[in-house]
Amino acid sequence: MEETWKLYRVRPRSLMSFSYPSKDRALLGAYDLDGSWDECGLYIEAPNGARIEQHEIAEWCQNRFQQLKKIEARANSLH
């Protein structure tokens, strides 16, 4: 059986879960599930039941956003 990482997100009056094949994919899902920050990644559950809590998701997302901005700035400077 394939192990999955589950991302739990809060929407108005509902809790939704999405399955991903890896931790990185689940974090990317928390970062940009639908292209907006209107939803909140509540936590990610590992196959072994361990959880990545909301503050850890937010920190990862912030770091990822900063990395992407640096890459974009570098790419733009090459033109």
Arithmetic mean of pLDDT, 14-30: 87
Segments forming the whole domain that contains residue 60 = 5-77
Using DSSP's 3-state secondary structure scheme, residue 15 falls into strand
Q: How many domains does the chain have?
A: 1
Q: Between 63 and 12, whose confidence is greater?
A: 63
Most confident among 2-6, 18-22, 58-62 (mean pLDDT): 18-22
Give the pTM.
Answer: 0.71
Lowest mean pLDDT among 9-13, 16-20, 51-55: 9-13
Return all residues near 37 (Cβ < 8 A) that are at least 6 apart: none
**Is residue 42 a contact partner of residue 36, using CB atoms and an 8 Å limit?**
no
- Res 45: pLDDT: 95
